[in-house]
Chain A
């Protein structure tokens, strides 16, 4: 891939304007009006949106996102169906698909990358693809112009973080807390150290996620990171029936906290 991709360019531009980045997560198919939810989230101030494709065995997800995934699968959500809906969603911000590797592997690296590219999806995050295993996918994604986001975690040593940063596209995802996705009352103190380590090895935008659930937490983390990913707190609201309007107003709160 020559030069930064669409996702990276968009996030860099906004960072250059002094804006803290907000990347909400929504599970495809979790409610019937998930596309209007995405549209409301985009309109309320998201800089990019992570869209989960449901997998039967989401090992990095806690109860809320597991429940969203199960609801989506029960509603008959398929990989192809979800990607088709994204193609016409017209969100105005880059979309990063988040899913587990078996769905990619089963579809085929090139076919999956082409499907995302054709739908206008900018990036992909496949958390169970370790650096050692990522090349077949990341190569196909590069060729299709899809940016592969990689994670740096609290125990990742500096030299490994450097290798991850070199392979990462779009942004570098700093894991804010050891454990699975889910709302937490407190932030882990380790998040600063992880972001600092990432900062030493890359000038890609660094967004922190996992366990960030409130506007105050988002604001606190954005003091060190370039932005935040907020998943379970939003997904829970949508599962509880918040609808596009409720989703939008929660994202607006997060936006205000980051801008404040």
Chain B
């Protein structure tokens, strides 16, 4: 194990105030504080309850398709000169890691005696997952989605409706993910008595960042065991894309106590870890894209799932203590990575994890030494993005 492994307390339970260092906390109106306290108590109790854990594990296995495999990328590795393995969350039911979180939160909803979930969604993956888990457990579900995203992810809107969820188009603000979160929070304040807010990433007021990381921890823990078998130990580099940061947090949780270099990759147009400054939004203190006055800026990326001006508070903390680093990928590099993985491995990635791949492609042989082992969490499959990428690549692709 090399020098920077296992910072003390890294990725432990936050204190009762929900802080990861200076980040995190619970910045919500008084109307929502009792619900956050109730959720915190319910999660702590459930997480310590073997029967709850068994039911969750059972659903993730027999309904969700876990464990997801670890796939060695032979042709891509040859090309890059580094050994790339993929954690295949694209093969989980509904096509992304989002299912891990929503099954847990749907079970909690039931356990708290609530009968409805609200959720925000960007790309639509979390919304589809939430609608799926709601259908599975017979809960009502309302999903908020920005108008920009309902347009670029129209098929996912239909999927959610097919699954019995109500989709509400959000026309306020930048009409993307952050506004969907605002609208979901507003709805939650009005309906909190019988409704659980199923947050889609490691963000929001305490206990959400902690709870969602724990629910996604399965990704990292499985990958750790699989790396042990395939590579004989942890990889040299662990890479995941970061919107709010749930697939990255779940992945990192499995490796934070090793010497692996942990890298989160954001969209260049939504790089809150890199360009954000400390602030408070959506119930948490974290790094945010904002102006001098504190007005939140709009993120801009081809990937709806990464179009968020903030980052989960634990990532802000892991960055601050130097245990993880946060890098960016441009839209152009992402499109190239999307195409490259499709052609070399026969796997069409979602645009979000294509960011993680784009960084690996750019850094192989540079900051990733030749021959190094690299684990990339392939957080979702690309089906939802194919139409958009077709438009973006246009005729240039066909002419080749």
Contacts and interface: CB of A to CB of B under 8 A. Distances in A.
Contact of B279 (A102, A153, A154, A179): A102
Contacts of B279: 102, 105-106
Given A131-B33, A178-B192, A79 B26 contact: no
B163 interface: no
A60 B182 CA distance: 9
B190 A155 contact: no
B186 A102 contact: no
Interface stretch (A6-14, A86-94, A122-130, A221-229): A122-130
B232 interface: no
A127 B192 CA distance: 17
Among B31, B34, B179, max chain A CB count under 10 A is at B31
Nearest to A104: B294
Contacts of A61: 186
A132 B26 contact: yes
Contacts of B248: none
A183 to B, nearest CB: 14
Interface in B173-217: 173, 178-179, 182, 185-186, 189-193
Contacts of B186: 59-62, 179-180
Nearest to A164: B30
Range for the number of chain A residues in contact with chain B: 35 or more
A206 interface: no
Given A130-B33, A132-B17, A103 B178 contact: no
B172 interface: yes
Interface residues of B, number: 38
Contacts of A178: 31, 189-193
Contacts of B17: 132
A175 interface: yes
A157 interface: yes
A104 B295 CA distance: 11
Interface of B: 17, 25-31, 33-35, 172-173, 178-179, 182, 185-186, 189-193, 277-283, 285, 288, 290, 292-296
Given A105-B280, A130-B33, A150-B30, 17 more contacts: A55-B294, A57-B282, A70-B173, A78-B293, A79-B294, A102-B288, A103-B293, A105-B278, A129-B27, A131-B33, A151-B31, A156-B34, A157-B34, A160-B34, A175-B31, A179-B186, A179-B189
12 contacts: A55-B295, A57-B173, A59-B185, A59-B186, A60-B29, A102-B281, A104-B294, A130-B29, A132-B33, A152-B30, A155-B192, A160-B34
